[in-house]
Amino acid sequence: MRIFPSALLILLLLPFAWSTEPVRARRGMVVSTDVIASKVGVEVLKNGGNAVDAAVAVGFALAVTHPAAGNLGGGGFMLIRHADGRDTFLDFREMAPSSAHRDMYLAKANSGAIQSDYQGRQMQIELNESLVGWRASGVPGTVRGLELASSKYGRKPWKDLLAPAVKLAKGGFRVDYTLAESLKSSTALLGRFPESKRIFLRDGQYYDAGETLRQPELAAVLERIAEQGARDFYEGETARLLAAGMKRNGGEITLNDLKRYRAVERQPLRAEYKGYTVITAPPPSSGGVGILEMLGMLEGSGYEKGGFNAASTWHYLAEVMRRSYADRSEFLADPDFYRVPLGRLLDKGYLAARRSTIDRDKASRSEEIRPGIAPGYESMETTHFSVVDRDGNAVAVTYTLNGSYGSGVTVPGAGFLLNNEMDDFATRPGQANMFGLVQGEANKVEPGKRPLSSMTPTIVVKDGKLSMVAGAPGGGRIINAVLQALLNVIDFGMNAQQAVDAPRIHHQWMPDRLSVESGVSPDTVALLKRMGHDVVRIDTVGRLQLIVVNGEWLEGGSNSIPHGGAAGY
């Protein structure tokens, strides 16, 4: 087929032109990384549940069907916007155990290397106790957070919300190709721990696509939680199993640590961008601050005039990202332990000053861009789901084990994996973590502290009406993935599926490198290099789960095809 120059230009400027159509529905929509879990959420909506009920059911279902990141043994954030305009943010991020201290991982760091996977791909991870094994885990928060959401903002009985997850764990579900390959490629991590090897690797008799994965120990835990609530996980039989496993294997979490864990309700951050109100995550997420900082620098810049996928557009975005991530390295941490200077970081004068340092024709050098205030992680294998109900209530949830399959440890007798969130602290302040993110003293390890996160659940409103619900996995890349989803809709007029299919870029200040997805054209890459960017190709910046409200229609867009996606009714 002959492609005429005009057609070639369209393909270069509009690479989303071949995107598939979004899933559309009128009454309710759930978008997650797993279609089984999405359908669980839709059934809750059909049966009278609201968006919070559906989100709780999806969270527990993913703990069964998506073991790489769905979890009971991790933590996360839930952003809620009610149809009447009220909003709130639930922080169920993991907490450091009471025995934790600043230098707890220094003695045994750098003891080797281990293979871990992200979406079935291999990557080298430094083997140390903040990443692998029993000492890598913070006190899990997911069960307490989902219970808080249900009890305060849901309307369906708790047991009804756990019933689908219990059924999936007890009766099993069909393993698809992606999960089968993901489990196999995680052998070096999961194979180190007997329970993980038995359950997820079948002692070396790997699961093939089409086989059924049953998890009876996990089913028993879910049944106890359904009957007793979060009390079982933090004080009951499940808590005792977890604490006993920790004690036997040199871990840090005690029964008292579990009893003391609390989910926290916080005020979301919000700001205006081109007539839209962006509602997003406050600290200990770094994502919301980053999103609002970058939007503030972009506002009025005219960066988008070159068009989507133009070198000038990517260059300006990269420079904005560079400055925001520099601030992240120095000024963000758990607000219960550190006074985060939100007012100054989001001050319009400060953002204008940061914007004024951007050269439109030349890349900055990160070593010359320091964290600056006006006078006066997470793993690649996180997961996100977005929900909208028939009344217009919206929920955005991002939760995680941090690395793919977390610490690799499955709790004996309980069947769930534990997180490795302790690596999201500055375990070695001033040095990069597993995602290359440099972190400072503000995020040092302290007892009872929540580590800094990049998770960025975000809701957008226009003229008082719901416009978007967004989030993504991707470790330190999450913030930039969510930012570009919003820009794709607001500045470039894309629908939900186009916005998630369109190529993305990522710059995180250090290392001084611009990562681009394959959809960024070779000619554009060449221009970026001429501007002085050190450009590298990557597979993905983040796998978005996006809902866009388009008139009477809800549009669901997901990067998780074929094993996940949107479901509506």
pLDDT tens for 199-233 read 999 999 999 999 999 999 999 999 999 999 999 99
Tell if the pTM clears 0.75, that is, is over it: yes
Q: What is the pLDDT of residue 385?
A: 97
Give a three-class secondary structure readout of 470-501.
ECCCCHHHHHHHHHHHHHHHHCCCCCHHHHHH
Domain assignment of residue 485, yes or no: no
Which two three-digit tokens encode residue 417? 């994996």
Domain assignment of residue 226, yes or no: yes
pLDDT at 434 exceeding the cut of 60: no
Structural domain including 220 reads 34-265+382-425
**What residues pair up with 270 in beta bridges, in sequence order?**
279
Name the most confidently modeled range: 428-432, 461-465, 565-569: 461-465
Q: What is the pLDDT of residue 7?
A: 37
Is the torsion defined by CA of 420, 380, 162, 48 positive or negative?
positive
Domain assignment of residue 375, yes or no: no
- Three-state DSSP at 155 gives coil
Query: Residue type for 143, please?
Result: V
d(Cα 208, Cα 98) in Å, to the nearest integer? 42
Contact 6/484 with Cβ under 8 angstroms? no
Pick the residue with more confidence: 154 or 425? 154
Range with the poorest average pLDDT among 244-253, 433-442, 457-466: 433-442
pLDDT at 108 exceeding the cut of 70: no
- Three-state DSSP at 24 gives strand
Which two three-digit tokens encode residue 145? 């957070």
Q: How many domains does the chain have?
A: 1
Domain assignment of residue 392, yes or no: yes
Q: What is the pLDDT of residue 375?
A: 35
Query: pLDDT tens digits, residue range 542-554?
Result: 899 999 999 999 9
pLDDT at 383 exceeding the cut of 90: yes
* Strands 565-568 vs 553-558: parallel, antiparallel or unpaired: unpaired
Domain assignment of residue 127, yes or no: yes
Q: In the annotation, is 88 catalytic?
A: no
Query: pLDDT tens digits, residue range 155-212?
Result: 999 999 999 999 999 999 999 999 999 999 999 999 999 999 999 999 999 999 999 9
Contact 451/421 with Cβ under 8 angstroms? yes
Strands of the sheet containing 75-81, edge to edge, are 264-266, 87-92, 75-81, 394-400, 382-388, 29-32, 565-568
Domain assignment of residue 256, yes or no: yes
Q: Which entry of 382, 410, 427, 458 is annotated as an active-site residue?
A: 382
Q: What is the pLDDT of residue 112?
A: 44
d(Cα 240, Cα 238) in Å, to the nearest integer? 5
Whose CA is closest to 316, among 332, 294, 337, 331? Answer: 294
Q: Please provide the average confidence, as pLDDT, over all residues in the chain.
A: 90
pLDDT at 270 exceeding the cut of 80: yes
Domain assignment of residue 432, yes or no: no
Domain assignment of residue 79, yes or no: yes
Task: Please name the residues in contact with 484: beta carbons below 8 A apart, sequence gap of 6 or more.
Answer: 317, 502, 504, 505, 541
